[in-house]
Amino acid sequence: MENNKIAVGLDIGTTKIVAMIGRKNEYNKIEVVGIGKAKSLGVKRGVVSNITQTIQSIQQAIEEAESVSGVKIDNVVVGIAGQHIRSLHHSDYITRDNADEVIEESDIEDLVNQVHKLVMLPGEEIIHVLPQEFKVDSQADIKEPIGMYGGRLEANFHVVVGQVSSIRNIGRCVKSAGLSLSDITLEPLASASAVISQEEKEAGVALIDIGGGTTDLAIFKDGIIRHTAVIPFGGNVVTDDIKEGCSIIEKQAELLKIKFGSAWPGENKETEIVSIPGLRGREPKEITLKNLSKIIHARVQEIIERVYLEIKNYGHETQKGKLIAGIVLTGGGSQLKHLRQLVEYITGMDARIGFPNEHLAGDSEDILSSPSYATAVGLLMEGLHKEDIDEEVDEEIVAEVIETKEDFVDTISPQEEVQALESEKPDKKNKTSFFEKFTERLKDFLDNAE
């Protein structure tokens, strides 16, 4: 069974922009057919700061992915992160007109649409509305209310909010690079689907995605997303500290961090020294690895403590909110030596490094299972999942149209038949998931802004 449905994940990060093209194979695993990577120049801390440079970087990554795969890219699923992202909890309810009919998908959509109308702070927009537990009449803690009877449908929601301008800037960059947005997803959610198993989500787990400019956090419990946060520090501040502390240039600082860096200062002896060539005829610099790891340790400790504060705020220390599966670290920053041990030491929770290889086909290149590609793999999964949903909707529509057609096929002319088929089409709109509404609104805005 050859599946030709292709999707593209576009991860617009602070250090790199990755375009990943893939499809599902017969075992339902993801086969990456092409990947393109470009240095990200116009993004600071997850937010676009230079439109022109970002567009160029996106085009470069897309062109590379296209030439590797031989596939022309039109639609992409884009991840959104950045320090402007915040999340809040909200409860809402609807009273149903007819309590004698069972609750349907449309009732949940009505409830979600009602939450979308929440008044936000000026310049903010709702990105995701994620239902948690439902309550039907007075029965609480219902995971799936569809098919139940009830007059009042209530739910707790996890609402993710971001700055309109930042979201539109990303949309503008993607559109100006000659692409269309098929969906926008919060990056920690994408990374989570790539590296966390369903069992971990049930048991309770915190995903920490350490990128170049930001550190994203997503907390799951009982299979449901409970908390998201974006902390405006990542691997780049560690590099900056090394640059300042050792008086060297950024390129050297980055290399030092990757090759010799460690988050645990007790590791190195005073005598271990690395020599760095001086600039233009100057004397080489000698740096002890102990000092290097002290600098790294101080900054990484600060980042982890900020994240741990968020985990505590969510309620990890309560009996009900305990995260049994501990912490999963991913993103480029998670590859720092001894980081896992430091995280376990500071938080007292179990930790592991998350690799996105579980969902990839067996013969994938090793480089793809690096934690730094977790977000891109997650966005690609999101895109393929969306393709599947669209196909199901199309099949349902076709089935409905054929049924309707068979009922009155004898009584109409071929012209009327075509019109009837066309008039059936808009039904697809009602079946689109509520996640797509946000993307639709963004697309409309971008079209009108031309």
The 10s digit of each residue's pLDDT in 47-98 is 888 999 999 999 999 999 999 988 888 889 998 888 888 888 899 999 988 8
In a domain, 202, yes or no: no
In a domain, 139, yes or no: yes
pLDDT recorded at residue 2: 44
What is the residue range of 343's domain? 207-352
Residues 331 and 372 in one domain: no
Residues 240 and 383 in one domain: no
Report the share of the chain in percent with pLDDT over 70: 87
Residues 253 and 323 in one domain: yes
Amino acid at 43: V
Q: Residues 20, 31: contact at Cβ < 8 Å?
A: no
Instruction: Indicate the range of 133-142, 361-370, 417-426 predicted with least confidence.
Output: 417-426
Last residue of a domain, one of 352, 373, 397: 352
Q: Is 228 left (phi over 0), alpha (psi -120 to 50) or beta?
A: beta
Residue range 179-192, pLDDT digits in tens: 988 888 888 889 99
What pTM was estimated for this model as a whole?
Answer: 0.82
Q: Is 178 left (phi over 0), alpha (psi -120 to 50) or beta?
A: left
Residues 274 and 218 in one domain: yes
Residue 315: band (very low, low, confident or very high) from pLDDT cuts 50, 70, 90: confident
In a domain, 148, yes or no: yes
Residues 328 and 385 in one domain: no
Residues 361 and 312 in one domain: no
Span 317-346, average pLDDT: 91
Alpha carbon distance 163, 81 (integer Å): 10
In a domain, 21, yes or no: yes
List CB contacts of 96: < 8 A, sequence separation 6 or more.
103, 107, 150, 151, 152, 153
In a domain, 293, yes or no: yes
Q: Residues 445, 167: contact at Cβ < 8 Å?
A: no
Looking only at the bridges linking them, the beta strands covering 273-276 and 285-288 are antiparallel
Q: How many domains does the chain have?
A: 3
| CATH number, position 251 | 3.30.420.40
Residues 227 and 215 in one domain: yes
Residue 403: band (very low, low, confident or very high) from pLDDT cuts 50, 70, 90: low
Residues 121 and 169 in one domain: no
Q: Residues 229, 209: contact at Cβ < 8 Å?
A: no
Dihedral over Cα of 317, 91, 165, 54: its sign: positive
Question: Nearest 5°: CA angle at 141, between 136 and 144?
Answer: 70
Whether residue 420 is predicted with pLDDT greater than 60 in this model: the reply is no
Report the share of the chain in percent with pLDDT over 90: 40
Residues 177 and 147 in one domain: no
* Cα separation of the two ends of the chain: 42
Residues 308 and 421 in one domain: no
Residues 361 and 318 in one domain: no
In a domain, 332, yes or no: yes
Whether residue 244 is predicted with pLDDT greater than 70 in this model: the reply is yes
Last residue of a domain, one of 318, 352, 386: 352
List CB contacts of 219: < 8 A, sequence separation 6 or more.
204, 205, 206, 207, 225, 226, 227, 228, 311, 314, 316, 323
pLDDT recorded at residue 87: 87
Q: In angstroms, how far apart are the furthest CA atoms of the chain? A: 93
Residues 138 and 285 in one domain: no
| CATH number, position 105 | 3.30.1490.110
How is residue 443 written in tokens?
A: 């697309």
Last residue of a domain, one of 289, 321, 352: 352
Residue 428: band (very low, low, confident or very high) from pLDDT cuts 50, 70, 90: very low
How is residue 78 written in tokens?
A: 């884009």
In a domain, 201, yes or no: no
- The mean pLDDT of the chain is 85
